[in-house]
Amino acid sequence: MRVFVTGTAGFIGFHMARRLLAEGHDVTGVDGMTDYYDVGLKRARRDILMAHEAYNDHELMLEDADGLGTAAESARPDAIVHLAAQAGVRYSLENPRAYVDSNLVGTFNLMEAARRLGVGQFLLASTSSVYGADEPVPFVETVPADHPLTLYAASKKACEAMTHSYSHLWNIPTTVARFFTVYGPWGRPDMALGKFVEAILADRPIDLFNRGDMQRDFTYVDDLVEGLVRLMAAVPEQGRPVDALDSLSPVAPWRVVNIGRGRPVPLMDFVAAIERALGRTAKLNLLPMQPGDSPTTFASADLLHALTGYRPATPVDVGVAAYCAWYKSYYGQG
Ligand SMILES: NC(=O)c1ccc[n+]([C@@H]2O[C@H](COP(=O)([O-])OP(=O)(O)OC[C@H]3O[C@@H](n4cnc5c(N)ncnc54)[C@H](O)[C@@H]3O)[C@@H](O)[C@H]2O)c1
């Protein structure tokens, strides 16, 4: 299969591309190498991919419609996996325009390329943040999720809606995957795990918002990639829901699927797992809740399971230990 993956120098795109290459697929990757976090880490991920013969790289921004279209045309992809985005909940309060440019304009440009090429499947990375303040938990895909709390969430919800319209108009089979707090080796330095490990090793306190009274449905990156690969084989067909809980659109070959473990972990337990992995005690800086944050994320993994027979299962202790081992070797703090 020929797969066009965006965001391949990013955390998840790198893992996804590596997995596809290992399975013998041809991968064309696109990444604009934005400086939202350490570009050196992005280069290091990209170097690993570029060592692979079946990997073809394009450094360009999604906003460059012509460049993106040309790259996609030369790749002649069977499937597009769209992972590039301006990510991060908190940064969307500081620099909202980046979310409009990368997520709205960028996704539109990619959809246009997909329409012209008539791809067999379009996979879009979305986020648990779209559930906003929704209740009850666990979050199921059939709830409207119409109350985003940040522009990050709003931009992803808009991308979901945009892909629905293209799926309907141009018959593009589309799976929207909502990711739940993904972590693991090569992870992002701006996310809690990266910040906590860096601070604990430097003997600095870690910031715990809402005084640590939060829980997250942490998903290990290999589990997430497993879910994505399996979803690539579960191409949506209009009018053929898998069960009564299917989010399949009545008017398009389009559905949304959570990828999460379905087992939220209290933040303090996550910190304890890091302490065990590092053999150090964290100093805590207890802070109030941040605007736009959700106290809980909790995925229903039932639809993913119904479609693919798979549920993410890596325990947090195992995943955190793998991240800490990678961190020490990558940053030379072994
Ligand atoms: N990591 C998580 O916990 C998580 C949770 C929910 C959703 N997601 C989504 O998963 C996807 C991948 O996230 P990640 O954690 O790998 O983030 P990441 O920031 O590591 O990767 C995104 C990549 O996209 C590139 N990029 C950003 N804007 C671009 C643009 N306009 N043009 C070209 N390239 C651009 C960046 O350079 C980066 O390498 C994103 O869509 C994100 O919103 C991630």
Catalytic residue among 37, 152, 183, 323: 152
| Position 134 pLDDT exceeds 90 | no
Distance 108 CA to ligand 1 centre (A): 16
152 is catalytic: yes
Q: 120 and 13, same structural domain?
A: yes
- Residues 61-90: pLDDT tens digits? 999 999 999 999 999 999 999 999 999 988
- Token look-up 């690969």 returns 229
Which pLDDT score, from 0 to 100, does residue 313 have?
A: 96
Which pLDDT score, from 0 to 100, does residue 133 have?
A: 81
Q: Residues 138-162: what's their mean pLDDT? A: 96
Domain-embedded: residue 307 = no
Q: What is the CATH number of the domain that holds 211?
A: 3.90.25.10
Which pLDDT score, from 0 to 100, does residue 210 have?
A: 94
Nearest residue by C-alpha to atom 21 in ligand 1: 10
Which pLDDT score, from 0 to 100, does residue 334 have?
A: 60
Mutate to test the pocket of ligand 1, among 33, 46, 83 (most ligand atoms within 8 A of CB): 83
Q: 34 and 92, same structural domain?
A: yes
Q: Which residues does a 6 A CB cutoff place in the pocket of ligand 1?
A: 7, 9-13, 31-34, 42, 61-63, 83-87, 102, 106, 125, 127, 179, 181-182, 188
Structural domains of the chain, count: 2
Q: 207 and 140, same structural domain?
A: no
Which pLDDT score, from 0 to 100, does residue 104 have?
A: 98
Q: 252 and 209, same structural domain?
A: no
Q: Strand pairing of 174-179 and 79-82? A: unpaired
Question: Band of the pLDDT at 222, cuts 50, 70, 90?
Answer: very high
Which pLDDT score, from 0 to 100, does residue 90 have?
A: 87
Q: Angle CA(80)–CA(86)–CA(89) in degrees, nearest 5?
A: 125
Question: Band of the pLDDT at 124, cuts 50, 70, 90?
Answer: very high
Domain-embedded: residue 303 = no
Q: 96 and 150, same structural domain?
A: yes
Nearest residue by C-alpha to atom 31 in ligand 1: 102
| Position 269 pLDDT exceeds 90 | yes
Domain-embedded: residue 306 = no
- Residues 17-55: pLDDT tens digits? 999 999 999 999 999 999 999 999 999 999 999 999 999
- Domain around 176: 2-183+218-259
Distance 83 CA to ligand 1 centre (A): 6
Distance 139 CA to ligand 1 centre (A): 22
Q: 233 and 100, same structural domain?
A: yes
Q: 202 and 224, same structural domain?
A: no
| Position 216 pLDDT exceeds 90 | yes
Which pLDDT score, from 0 to 100, does residue 333 have?
A: 75
Q: Residues 215-230: what's their mean pLDDT? A: 98
Which pLDDT score, from 0 to 100, does residue 136 have?
A: 87
